[in-house]
Amino acid sequence: MANITKEDVISFIETMTVLELSELVKELEEKFGVSAMSAMPMAAIPGAGEAGGPAKEEEKQTEFAVILTAAGDKRVQVIKAVREITGLGLRDAKALVDEAPKSVKENIPEEDVKSIKTKLEDAGATVEVK
Architecture of domain 63-129: 2-Layer Sandwich (3.30)
Note the pLDDT of residue 36: 66
Q: Give the pLDDT confidence score for residue 46 in this predicted structure.
A: 57
Q: How far apart are CA 105 and CA 116, in angstroms?
A: 9
User: H or E element: which one contains 68?
Assistant: strand 63-70
Domain coordinates in residue numbering, the chain: 6-52, 63-129
* Contact in structure between 85 and 119 (CB atoms under 8 Å): yes
CB 120 within 8 A of CB 104: yes
User: How much is the pLDDT for 43?
Assistant: 54
**Paired sense of beta strands 102-109 and 126-129, if any:** unpaired
pTM: 0.51
CB 78 within 8 A of CB 71: yes
State residue 72 phi and psi, 5-degree precision: 75, -165
Residuewise pLDDT in 10s, the chain (130 residues): 578 898 888 888 888 888 888 888 888 888 888 876 655 555 555 555 555 445 455 567 778 888 888 888 888 998 998 898 888 889 988 888 888 788 888 888 888 888 888 888 888 888 888 8
